[in-house]
Chain A
C-alpha cells in the first residue's frame, strides 16, 4: 500500500475538488474518498516500469485508483505506451479509474480483468479532459470473466477551454454467462474531436446492455462492432447523439450474428439542431446456416432546426431464413402540440423545447440506477 505524502494528498484534493465542482450530486465515490490512492507517476519519469504492480496492489485493496498521465510526455514526440494490468478480483461495489489527461499521451493500453463470479462489479472510468490541449488516446482491453456481472460506467470531465483529439478504443470480451452493462457518456467541449470505437465480442449465453450519450464535440464518431459468436448471446443498445451548433456526429453500428439463438436490439436517436449534421449507419448482419435469430433496429431522429441535417442508414444483411428481424427509421421535428401544452403552463417556448429534448434523452436513462448519468446529461442540456 502506498504512503501518501503531503504533495500527493494535495493532488488528490485538487482532482477531487474538480470532480466535486463539476458533478456535485451523487458522485458514487464520495464514500470512498479516504481510500484514494495516487499514482506515483506524477513524480517519476520512468513510470511504465513500475506502475503496473503498484496499481494492481492499489486496486486489489478495494480502493479507488487515480492515475495521471500529464507527465507521460516523451520529449522526442514519440508515442508513449503505458500498460496497466488491473485485476478486479475483490467483491468491489465501486471502483474508479480516474485519469487526468493533459498533453500527448497516446497508445495507452489498459487491461482490466473482471473475474468475480456471482458478484456485481461497478467500475467507473472517469476521464478528465479539462487540461487537454493536444492528442490523447487510450485503448482498453476489458475481459468480463465467465459468470461475472460488470457495470462499467464511463464519463468525461471537461471545460470550455478543453481541446484536442480524443481517441478511445474499448475491446470488450464478454465470456460465457457473463453480463456486461456499459454506460458511455461523452459530453465534451466544442474544441474537441471525439473518436470512440467499441469492439464487443460475446460468447455463449452472455448479455451486453449498452447505453450511450454523445454531445458537444465538434466531431464525434462512434463505431460499434458487436460479434455475437456464442449461442444465446444477447446484445441491447440504446444510443443518443445530440448536436446543436455546427458539430458533425456519426454513429456506425454493426451487429454481427455469427451463432444461432442470438439476439440484438438497437434503439438509436440523433437530435440535431443549429447547423449540425448527424449520421447514423447501422447494419444487422447474419452469416448463413444459423437459426432462431432475433434482430431489431430502430432509429428515431429529431431535427431541431431548419439548417440541421440527419442521414440515417438502417441496413440489413441477412443470410439466413430463420430470423425475426425489423428495422425502421423516422426523422421528425419537436411536436408542436407538446410545445403548446408546456407554453400554456407559462413555460417559454425555448425552455419548453429544452424540456422536451431532455425528455427524449431521459427515456433511455429513466431508471434510478442512471440518476447520476441523467444529472450529467440534464446539466449539459441546460447549460450548453
Chain B
C-alpha cells in the first residue's frame, strides 16, 4: 500500500524527519507515538504533500507508484486523506458545499458524473446518523464556531464520505470527550477493511484501546526508534516518553 523509504524532511530549513522508513500494507492499522516535536505531524504533512514541508531525500510510494513529487490534490484523489490535528475554520464556505465539492472532485477523478444533490444529502445524512451528528452540522460554515470535538468529528465525517484508501489521523483524539472518542473510534473501526490502511498519530494510549493497531511505532527526533505490536503503546503509557529518549540514545 504505502512505503516511505529513507525519508528526510525539512521545515523552515530545519531537518525534522531524519531518514525514516515505514511500510504499511493494505488492511493494516499502524500507530505512531512520540513526544512533542518528534516529527509526527511533519511526517503526516509530508505524506499528504504539503509544500511547506520539503522532502530532501527519500521516496513515498502509494500502490507501488512514486508520489513524492505530485501535488497535494493529486495525492488526495489517489486516496490519501489526512484528518488534521488542527482543522481550520473557513468562514463563508458551507460545510455541505465543501463535502460535495470534495466528493465530486473524487468522482471526476474516477470518471464518474457529479453526484445528484438529493443522493448526496441522503448519503451524508446516513453517515451523520452513524456518527451521531445533528443535521445543522452540515449547514454551518466549515469548522467555524465548532467546538474542538466537533472539528475532529467533521474530519472523520469527511473521511467516511470520501472513503480514502490510506487514512492518517493526526491526534484526532485530542479535544474529544469520552463519548465523542468512542463515536470517532467506532467510525474509524467501521472503515477498517482489507483494502484500506490507517495511520494513527497520537500521544496517548486511550484511542488505541478503542482502535487496536496492528503495529505501533515510536518516533523520536525524526526517526522510528522502536516498533512493536499494540502492547508497545501500553508500555509507553506506563513508562513515559523519557523511556523513548533512552531508546533513541541506545540506538545511537
Contacts and interface: CB of A to CB of B under 8 A. Distances in A.
Nearest to A361: B92
Given A345-B162, A347-B102, A359 B82 contact: no
A363 B92 contact: yes
Binding site of A, secondary structure by majority: helix, strand, loop or mixed? helix
Contact of B105 (A346, A360, A362): A346
Contact of A355 (B76, B77, B97, B109): B97
B72 interface: yes
A346 B76 contact: yes
Given A337-B88, A344-B82, A349 B73 contact: yes
Contact of A356 (B81, B82, B87, B93): B93
Contacts of B71: 343
Contacts of A340: 50, 72
Of the listed residues B84, B92, B97, the one surrounded by the most CB atoms of chain A closer than 10 A to its CB is B92
A338 B102 contact: no
A172 B81 CA distance: 54
Given A344-B48, A344-B82, A345-B102, A355 B93 contact: yes
A219 to B, nearest CB: 27
Of the listed residues A337, A344, A346, A356, the one surrounded by the most CB atoms of chain B closer than 10 A to its CB is A346
Contacts of A348: 73, 105
A366 B88 CA distance: 20
A189 to B, nearest CB: 26
Interface residues of A, number: 22
A343 B101 contact: no
A345 B99 CA distance: 9
Contacts of A343: 71-73, 76
A341 B92 contact: no
Contacts of A359: 90-94, 141
Given A346-B77, A346-B102, A359-B93, 11 more contacts: A341-B88, A344-B72, A344-B76, A344-B81, A345-B73, A346-B73, A347-B73, A351-B101, A351-B105, A359-B90, A363-B92
Contacts of A361: 92
Contacts of A337: 88
> Closest 9 A-B residue pairs measured CB to CB?
A359-B92, A359-B93, A345-B102, A346-B76, A346-B105, A363-B92, A343-B73, A346-B77, A343-B72
A80 interface: no
Interface of B: 48, 50, 71-73, 76-77, 81-82, 84, 87-88, 90-94, 97-98, 101-102, 105-106, 109, 141, 158, 162
Contacts of B88: 337-338, 341
A364 B97 CA distance: 17
A333 to B, nearest CB: 15
Contacts, number: 73
Given A341-B90, A360-B92, A363-B92, A355 B101 contact: yes
A351 B84 CA distance: 21
A262 to B, nearest CB: 30
A142 interface: no
A226 B88 CA distance: 39
B93 A358 contact: yes
A349 B72 CA distance: 10
A342 interface: yes
B23 to A, nearest CB: 23
A329 B225 CA distance: 51
Contacts of B72: 340, 343-344
A182 to B, nearest CB: 22
B97 A341 contact: no
A357 B90 CA distance: 11
Nearest to B72: A343
Of the listed residues B48, B73, B109, B162, the one surrounded by the most CB atoms of chain A closer than 10 A to its CB is B73
Contacts of A366: 92
B11 to A, nearest CB: 14
Contacts of B84: 341, 344
Interface in A56-81: none
Given A346-B105, A347-B101, A347-B102, A356 B90 contact: yes
Contacts of B77: 346
B69 to A, nearest CB: 15
A345 B158 CA distance: 9
B106 A346 contact: yes
A345 B76 contact: yes
Contacts of B162: 345-346
Contacts of A362: 92, 94
A357 to B, nearest CB: 9
Contacts of B82: 344
A343 B45 CA distance: 13
A359 B90 CA distance: 8
A340 B87 CA distance: 11
Interface string A156-193: 00000000000000000000000000000000000000
A345 B109 contact: no
27 contacts: A337-B88, A338-B88, A338-B90, A340-B50, A340-B72, A341-B88, A342-B98, A344-B82, A345-B102, A345-B158, A346-B106, A347-B73, A348-B105, A349-B73, A351-B101, A351-B105, A355-B93, A355-B98, A358-B92, A358-B97, A359-B90, A359-B92, A359-B93, A359-B94, A359-B141, A360-B91, A363-B91
A94 to B, nearest CB: 26
B151 to A, nearest CB: 12
